[in-house]
Structure 1
Amino acid sequence: MRITVLAIVAAAAIAVVTTASAHSFKTGDLEIGHPWSRATLPNAPVAGGYMTIENTGTTDDTLLGGSTPAAEKVDVHEMKMEGDVMTMRPLTQGLIIPAGETITLKPGGYHLMLMKPQRPFKEGERVPLTLKFEKAGEVTVELAVDKPNAMGKDDHAGHAGMKTQ
């Protein structure tokens, strides 16, 4: 009896951990993996949005931007080194997600810029975000808010996307 109860408790704990770490979303041929953000300071003018976007289809799609009740505006941005200077610019035409490839949005590379957050993002909470794609349409995801200095859960260096120097 006691072993059965322990087995049930262990199975339930594994199910909870698996569910908590499974943080992915799908729309059309696109799979969005582990969307996240950093905790922000009070009165921070912006917050970042990061994730992987895998295009399992045979045609390219484009991330056009998004929206959230947690911020005034959501744009797609690119950070990169130009000589010795780190530059950032909005991608007004969006970010192409090539067919059969994965793009990583991460600090220091491609990312979402959430302008004028309504309130600080707190570690441990989830922030709703609707992503808008040219072909796949819209999908609502949740940004898991990590610590303020988080750099991401995985290193996707082998995937297509922004390479930081």
Structure 2
Amino acid sequence: MLKSTVFAAAAAILSTMPAFADGIMVKDAYARSASPAARTGAIFMVLDNHTHADDRLIAATSEAAARVELHTHTDDGNGVMRMHEVEGGFAIPAHGEHVLARGGDHVMLMGLTAPLVHGETVDVTLTFEKAGEMTVSVPVDLERNDAHAGHGGHGDHGGGHKAKGHGKHNH
């Protein structure tokens, strides 16, 4: 019990420590997967642009997964949410932010090289159109329950959350 409490406290501290890259700040980042056996995971965060120019997150890489993509969920018009890769990345307005959250935009880890373990960290390199590259150590938090996690959270994409083009993703 004490061990998980220490991990949770460390994850909370790490997730609140912002990372900077040429005017872009990453805040409140965390990673999760649906289970220890999951082959996929996701990373969520707030991208805060402190510059006078719009920027864009255009790519992400990590040794934690065979493939890393920028994903979102969209309604297919029949009330079914489908997950798909976002070509061109995520816009971050000047003096504004872009939230990557469960049930919405996120960094998708596909083909995990090892399970995401609660309390550990995952390094991810984010590539911005103008700010360049930034490597962030993201805490794994398998217990976090976001209030803003639209559409029932970001768990198994079966049961209404169907993944388009990639099969089922659990994270």
Task: Work out whether the TM-score is over 0.5.
Answer: yes
TM-score (structure 2 length as normaliser): 0.73
User: What CA RMSD, in Å, does the superposition of the two structures yield over aligned residues?
Assistant: 2.5
Structure 2 counterparts to residues 1-165 of structure 1, below 5 A: 20=14, 22-83=16-77, 84-147=79-142, 150-152=144-146, 155=148, 164=150
Structure 2: where are the runs of 5+ without partners?
1-9, 152-171
Q: Secondary structure at the match of 2:114?
A: coil
Q: Distance in 1 between matches of 2:99 and 2:55?
A: 14
Which letter maps to 2:138?
L
- Which has the larger Rg? 1
TM-score (structure 1 length as normaliser): 0.76
8 A contact 2:67–2:110 mirrored in 1: yes
Q: Secondary structure at the match of 2:74?
A: strand
132-141 vs 34-43, which deviates more? 34-43
Q: Distance in 2 between matches of 1:17 and 1:40?
A: 18
> Structure 1 pair 87/17, CA: closer, same or farther in 2 (3 Å)?
closer
Percent identity between the two aligned chains: 31
Structure 1: where are the runs of 5+ without partners?
1-15, 156-162
Q: Secondary structure at the match of 2:83?
A: strand
1:88-142 C-alpha deviation (Å, 9 max, x unpaired):
1111211111111111101100000011110110111111111111110000101
8 A contact 2:14–2:138 mirrored in 1: no
